[in-house]
Amino acid sequence: MKPVIGIAANEQTMIDTDSHWISYTPKNFITGIQNAGGLPVLLPIGAMEDAKSYIKKIDKLLLAGGQDVSPECYNALPQQKLGATNHRRDLFEIALVKEAVKVGKPIIGVCRGMQLLNVVFGGTLLQDLSFSKEPLLKHVQVPTPFELPTHPVEIDLNSHLGEFLPQSYQVNSFHHQAIDQLAPEFVVTATAPDGVVEGIESINHPIIGVQWHPELAYFTMEKEREFFAYIVQKFN
């Protein structure tokens, strides 16, 4: 039986009008899960009370990237450099996370997904990296193509990430926010040279998160293909 990986979907308009909306996830999440022997299923943004039914139908939950997490989720006010938010998405994904934790199903967070996990368990976010007190690396790698790595991270070898990644690793980078206060639920498993948190995992539950984008580097970096093999076949 192939493991069913539920991917929390995002929303956007197909054209410049509010009448043609689509629910979607980046194609390489689909490709990566399928090639790793899993069955990807999209979970469209919906009512919080439906989270229980969705989680029943999947084996693992994947939270993808996208908009900034609404500051109200971590009791903060919006600052000048906050990007676009979708609070309906926040609330629905929070409900999915809580239900998955309740029944013990694994959760994987990528970029925004990792940040949301930190928020769900009581952590906070830096709304823009420019607000850091220390000089930081370039974490939005434009105009460098997203499939190419641009900065190093240090991996904790005694972690889930350490099971398939080397201690020194290069990642792609496309985020203007980062974890500020780490939730007590998590330990840091990957760190950039400037101190920005690039990976976390739960102390009590099967939950991991990465700040970079394995899906964007799927065809150019072998280790990112191993990421999908790990989360589909080994992470429990």
Identify whether 154 is a catalytic site residue. Answer: no
CA distance 99 to 6: 13
Residue 234's CB is within 10 A of a number of other CB atoms, namely: 11
Q: How are beta strands 4-8 and 39-43 bridged, if at all?
A: parallel
Q: How far is CA 43 from CA 4, 48, 135, 136, in A?
A: 12, 12, 38, 35
CA distance 221 to 148: 8
Catalytic residue, candidates 160, 175, 205, 213: 213
Residue 215's CB is within 10 A of a number of other CB atoms, namely: 27
Catalytic residue, candidates 73, 93, 111, 224: 111
CA distance 145 to 177: 19
Identify whether 213 is a catalytic site residue. Answer: yes
CA-closest candidate to residue 105, choices 1, 3, 175, 27: 3
CA-closest candidate to residue 180, choices 195, 193, 169, 190: 195
Do residues 194 and 136 lie in contact, with contact meaning Cβ atoms separated by under 8 Å? yes
Catalytic residue numbers, as ranges: 111, 213, 215
